[in-house]
């Protein structure tokens, strides 16, 4: 049996506009200046408090925990407003459909989102029940710590050699390799392909068809 783990933001769904909007509200309510958009998107994938710490350059006086709570509130507000959307990236529903139809594949998720946030995304897109294990910021240390991948493997009984993580950030690639799993980097997300390659991606793919080809090639390599 093979385990295919997906990151969420930047890999399955395009949430960048919502993330920046929620960050803007959080920083404004804290009376702080929002960092540049590139900096905000560069920390996507980390757990919220760790993300805020990085945006604050690890200053011990920076209100990371307060900002994390303000961000959660802002995101919940945005979710109730007209026009809110976290669309699936092109072709990703088809990828999930093709993988779920295979009898040798289990699907899982490893994401910096909360369980509540994941449930909202899956419910919106009608993807409930597709993922047999969902590891989130509620359940493990922040990426790139390998705990999410290790816990997913333990929950499914799949060995590291038969596990692959698909993600869009260097945090994903480092996490996967630290857990002994394989790693596929998608280039439509938040980190540049050079960062993904330097962080341990075995494959770099630029679209959904390329992702399926990479998965098929990987299965051919692993007995």
For the domain that residue 132 is a member of, what is the CATH number? 3.40.50.1000
From residue 80, alpha-carbon distances to 87, 195, 209, 210 in Å are: 16, 35, 33, 35
Residue 112 CA to its chain's centroid (Å):
6
Work out how many domains the chain is built from and give that number: 2
Say which residue the tokens 């698909």 belong to.
166
Q: Where are the alpha helices (DSSP H) in 81-161?
A: 92-100, 115-125, 147-156
Domain boundary among 47, 80, 113: 80
Q: Are residues 165 and 199 in the same domain?
A: yes
Task: Provide the residue range defining the domain that includes 24.
Answer: 16-80
Q: Are residues 69 and 145 in the same domain?
A: no
Q: Cα(137)–Cα(114) distance, rounded to whole angstroms?
A: 5
Domain boundary among 55, 80, 105: 80
Q: Are residues 37 and 68 in the same domain?
A: yes
Q: Are residues 95 and 182 in the same domain?
A: yes
Q: Answer yes or no: are the C-beta atoms of 179 and 196 closer than 8 Å.
A: no
So which residues are the catalytic ones? 7, 9
Q: Are residues 130 and 199 in the same domain?
A: yes
Q: State the pTM of this model.
A: 0.91
Domain boundary among 30, 64, 80: 80
Q: Is 61 helix (H, G, I), strand (E, B) or coil?
A: coil
Q: Are residues 74 and 92 in the same domain?
A: no
Q: Are residues 95 and 160 in the same domain?
A: yes
Written as tens digits, the pLDDT of the chain (223 aa) is 999 999 999 999 999 999 999 999 999 999 999 999 999 999 999 999 999 999 999 999 999 999 999 999 999 999 898 888 889 999 999 999 999 999 999 999 999 999 999 999 999 999 999 999 999 999 999 999 999 999 999 999 999 999 999 999 999 999 999 999 999 999 999 999 999 999 999 999 999 999 999 999 987 754 4
């Amino acid at each position: 049996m093979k385990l295919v783990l997906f990151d969420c933001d930047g890999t399955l769904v395009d949430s960048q506009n919502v993330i920046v909007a929620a960050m803007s509200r959080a920083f404004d309510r804290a009376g702080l200046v929002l960092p540049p958009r590139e900096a905000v998107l560069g920390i996507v994938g980390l757990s919220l408090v760790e993300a805020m710490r990085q945006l604050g350059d690890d200053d011990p006086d920076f209100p990371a925990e307060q900002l994390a709570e303000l961000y959660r509130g802002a995101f919940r507000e945005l979710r109730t407003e007209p026009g809110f959307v976290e669309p699936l990236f092109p072709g990703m529903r088809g990828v999930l459909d093709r993988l779920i139809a295979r009898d040798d594949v289990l699907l899982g998720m490893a994401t910096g989102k909360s369980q509540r946030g994941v449930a909202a995304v899956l419910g919106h897109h009608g993807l409930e029940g597709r993922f047999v294990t969902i590891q989130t910021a509620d359940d493990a240390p922040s990426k790139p710590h390998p705990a999410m991948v290790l816990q997913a493997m333990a929950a499914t009984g799949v060995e590291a050699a038969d596990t692959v993580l698909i993600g869009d950030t260097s945090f994903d690639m480092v996490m996967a390799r630290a857990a002994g799993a394989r790693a596929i980097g998608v280039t439509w997300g938040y980190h540049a392909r050079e960062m993904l390659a330097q962080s341990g991606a075995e494959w770099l793919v630029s679209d959904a068809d390329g992702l399926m080809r990479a998965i098929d090639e990987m299965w051919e390599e692993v007995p």
